[in-house]
Amino acid sequence: MTYNKTILYIVACTILFLYGTFAFSQEPETSPPSNVTAVDTPNDDGSSITVTWDTAEDSGIVGYKILRNTDAGEFEEIGEQLDADVSEYKDKEIIKGKEHAYIVRAITETEASVDSLQTGAVRATGQWFHSGKIQLFIAMIIFCGSILGSIYLSRNNQEVFVRRIPGLEAVDEAIGRATEMGRSILYVLGLGGVSGPATIASMTILGQVARRTADYETTLRVPCNDPIVLNVVREMVKASYLDEGRPDAYSEEDIFFLTDSQFAYAAGVDGMMLREKPAAIFLQGTFYAESLILAETGNSIGAIQIAGTDSEHQLPFLITACDYTLIGEELYAASAYLSKEPMQLGSLRGQDWGKVLIFLTIVFGVFLELIGVNWITTFLQRVS
Amino acid sequence: MELFGIWIAAFLTLCIYSFLYKDNPFYRFAEYLFVGMTVGYGIVLSYHQGFIPFAWEPFMDVFTGESLFGLIKLIPIGIGLLFFSGLSSRHTWLIRFPSAILIGVGCGLAIPNVLRANIFEQTRGTIEPFAAINAGTLSGMEIFSAILMVIGVICTLTYFFFSVEHRGPVKWVSKIGIAFLMIGFGSAFGNTVMGRVALLIQRVDFLINDWLGSFVALF
């Protein structure tokens, strides 16, 4: 009896030992990624789908891979392996108009993998309105409203005062000097594209300068860096000559394309300065590293130089090497200052109202932050 | 071949530097070569990176039946072709349409970004440190910087008021603003000059080590 019991005891222990060895030799079971969802990315142009899932802690997962199918086809891996702490993937390589479903594959330390359930099929669509930018839209309405209101008042004969801007008062002096010396005027628009605010401002100043050169019969040379800017500039200058009743004085050859390469353009304009020796040089627009090269060469030939840019890194060089410099927003104000048109003057005053708004926002914002109220900062965070 | 390239580069570098003396045929040669080469390169680049992928290929996809999406490209292609109307003096006015569209679209895209980056973010950045002052997490120097920043922004902003006459207190506040601007410009000037000197050193290093070094290799 005792013998049988001992045998039974040994067999039971052996079974327990074998079971334990087997059980501990197995990997802990990794659960598949849960709550996997795929949704059309909100507020985009319909070019992406966002996949999200819950990350599991202490599960031995070292990363995730995303599998995608198109129109119920085969699932294929897309993109690189994602880190274990990532819980979102934006698929930007979808096919527009097709339905996509996703599986999130968890990868373990031993390169084993566990797949999630398949998500529902999703088709990406574009949105007309970006709901996250409503605050920015409201702020824009306020700013634009102040400008439009000022333009309206200005058009209704309300006089607008504009303070003296020395750089712009020198425009007539520069053109007069070039006329007296019988030399040309060189107008450089910089390297900005046609939609750049500084280039647009520069083109409107050029329109005013062209009116005066048409009157004085002074040669106006404009080397352009962008073929589209060239076409717009030609139209503007031609219109100015027509307005002054001097279409015969307009010469299309004086407004020409040089090159779109930054330093080749600088080399070409420098060469023109040295050979033609213009009496007045206007450097108005967007400038980069070539600003000092141009301004120094202009200075070396003794030309009167009037510069203006909103490129804050180039302003120091222009201030150093030019006779007059329009700093930042002075460039945008220049057109209104020179033309004295009610619409532009109204716009200028509207911009000043915008600045008053910024001024008040800063003063109240600082005060409120000091007493622990931060709704202005929160609003600014939402719009920026 | 590499040696040949070094000599060409050194020759053109010296041609451009000869401008420091005065305008001369060597500088003119380098200038015309540079301008001509970049224009040619720009045309090839526009053809391969602009015309072929964005106009020609979608358009051809329509003919091959691969995708009808290319048909929509006819609209921008048509607008772009209006730029060629400048070749005919009678139809030059047509250029105004693509120009107006480009300027309008460009401004529409730029204005919200300019407002966001240049106004709202800057205003927030000016105010935000005062939350930390309230929380008591800033050092004395950081508090001083935050206050100085607000004074600088307000004074500089005052300088850019155009519809107000700068006399009395406004004049003095705007003068302080100009002082802030000039300090900023001085700092940027010094910083950029250091960058330019680094570029000069790089070029002189090329002339001394690569070019003059090639003499040693030859003899």
A333 contacts B162? CB cut-off 8 A:
yes
Chain B residues 23-82 within an 8 A CB cutoff of chain A:
23, 27-28, 30-31, 34-35, 37-39, 41-42
Quote the CA–CA distance of A253 and B158 in Å, as a whole number. Answer: 43
- Cα–Cα distance between A360 and A371 in angstroms, integer? 17
From the CA of A318, how many Å to the nearest CA of chain B?
Answer: 10
In this predicted structure, the answer to whether residue A28 has a pLDDT above a threshold of 70 is: no
The answer to whether A359 contacts chain B (CB < 8 Å) is yes
- For position A22, what pLDDT does the model report? 57
Evaluate whether residue B7 is within a structural domain: no
Q: What percent of chain A has pLDDT over 70?
A: 95
pLDDT at B65: 74
Q: Which residue has the higher pLDDT, A178 or A156?
A: A178
pLDDT for residue A27: 54
Tell me which chain B residue has its CA closest to the CA of residue A290: B196
Q: What is the pLDDT of residue B116?
A: 87
**B residues 102-141 lying closer than 8 A (beta carbon) to A:** 102-103, 105-107, 109-112, 114-117, 119-121, 123-124, 126-128, 130-131, 133-134
Residues of A within 8 A of B35 (CB-CB) are 258-259, 261, 264-265, 267-268
* Residue B141 resides in a domain: yes
Nearest CA in chain B to A258: B35
* d(C-alpha A24, C-alpha B176), whole Å: 77
Q: Do A267 and B34 touch (CB under 8 A)?
A: yes
Q: C-alpha distances in angstroms, B193 versus A246, A262, A292, A305, A319?
A: 45, 19, 10, 22, 14
* CB contact (8 A) between residue A316 and residue B22: no
Reported as a single tens digit per residue, the pLDDT across A317-372 is 999 999 999 998 899 888 888 888 888 888 888 989 989 999 999 999 999 999 99
* pLDDT given at position A24: 52
> What is the spatial distance between Cα B205 and Cα B216, in angstroms, rounded to a whole number?
15
Tell me which of A16 and B61 has the higher pLDDT: B61
Residue type, A269: V
Domain assignment of residue B69, yes or no: no
- A13: confidence class by pLDDT, cuts 50, 70, 90: low
What is the average per-residue pLDDT within B125-148?
Answer: 93
Residue with tokens 């200005």: A154
The interface pTM score, or ipTM, of the predicted complex is: 0.86
CB distance from A148 to chain B under 8 Å? no
From chain B, the residues in CB contact with A194 under 8 A are 99, 102-103, 106
Domains of chain A (ranges plus CATH)? Answer: 34-115 (2.60.40.10), 160-340 (3.40.50)
- Is residue B100 in a domain? no
Tell if the CB–CB gap between B39 and A372 is shorter than 8 Å: no
What is the mean pLDDT of the segment spanning B197-219? 87
pLDDT at A21 over 70: no
Does residue B99 sit at the A interface (CB-CB below 8 Å)? Answer: yes
Tens digit of pLDDT for each residue in A213-239? 999 999 999 999 999 999 899 989 999
**Closest residue, chain A, to B192 (C-alpha):** A313
Quote the pLDDT of residue B154. Answer: 95
Residue B190 vs residues A217, B194, B197: alpha-carbon distances, Å: 42, 6, 11
Which pLDDT does position B59 carry in this prediction?
80
- B52–chain A nearest CA distance, Å: 19
pLDDT at A61: 86
Other beta carbons within 10 angstroms of residue A104's beta carbon come to 28
A259, A297, A371: best mutation site toward chain B, by most B Cβ within 10 Å?
A259
Q: Is residue B113 part of a domain?
A: no
The predicted pLDDT at position A382 comes to: 82
For chain B, say whether A185 makes contact (Cβ under 8 Å). Answer: no
- Rounded to the nearest integer, the mean pLDDT of chain A is 89
Residue A220: the pLDDT is 96
Whole-structure pTM over 0.95, yes or no?
Answer: no
B183 has pLDDT over 70: yes
Residues of chain B in contact with residue A204, where contact means CB-CB under 8 angstroms, are none
Residues of A in contact with B116 (CB under 8 A): 136, 383-384
**Number of other residues whose CB lies within 10 A of the CB of residue A96:** 12
CB contact under 8 A, B106 and A329: no
pLDDT of residue A103: 94
Nearest residue in B to A236, CA atom:
B96
Q: Do A377 and B186 touch (CB under 8 A)?
A: no
**A251-306 pLDDT per residue, tens:** 999 999 999 999 999 999 999 999 999 999 999 999 999 999 999 999 999 999 99
Strand partners, A45: A126
Q: Which domain holds residue B159?
A: 128-219
Confidence of residue B38 (pLDDT cuts 50, 70, 90): very high
Using the predicted structure, report yes or no on whether residue A76 has a pLDDT greater than 80.
Answer: yes
State the average pLDDT over residues B172-196.
92
Candidates A301, A181, A275, A178; CA nearest to A223 is A275
Q: Which amino acid is at A249?
A: A
* B130–A235 CB contact, under 8 Å: no
Is B166 part of a structural domain of the chain? Answer: yes
User: If pLDDT is split at 50, 70 and 90, which confidence band does A120 have?
Assistant: very high
- Per-residue pLDDT tens digits for A83-109: 988 999 999 989 888 899 999 999 988
* Poorest-pLDDT segment among A20-29, A270-279, B98-107, B168-177: A20-29
- Asked if residue A290 lies in contact with residue A263, where contact means CB atoms within 8 angstroms, the answer is yes
Contact assessment for residue A208 and residue A339, using Cβ atoms and an 8 Å cutoff: yes
Q: Would you call B92 an interface residue with chain A, using a CB distance cutoff of 8 Å?
A: yes
Beta strands in chain A (DSSP E): 34-40, 49-54, 61-70, 76-83, 88-91, 100-108, 113-115, 185-190, 220-224, 255-257, 280-286, 304-309, 324-327
pLDDT at B30 over 90: yes
Q: Which of B127, B193, B194 to mutate to test the interface with A (most CBs of A within 10 A)?
A: B127
Tally of structural domains, chain B: 1
Examine residue B169 and state whether it is found in any structural domain, yes or no.
Answer: yes
Instruction: Estimate the crossing angle of helix B169-205 against helix B140-159, to 10 degrees.
Output: 110
What percentage of residues in chain A have a pLDDT greater than 90? Answer: 55
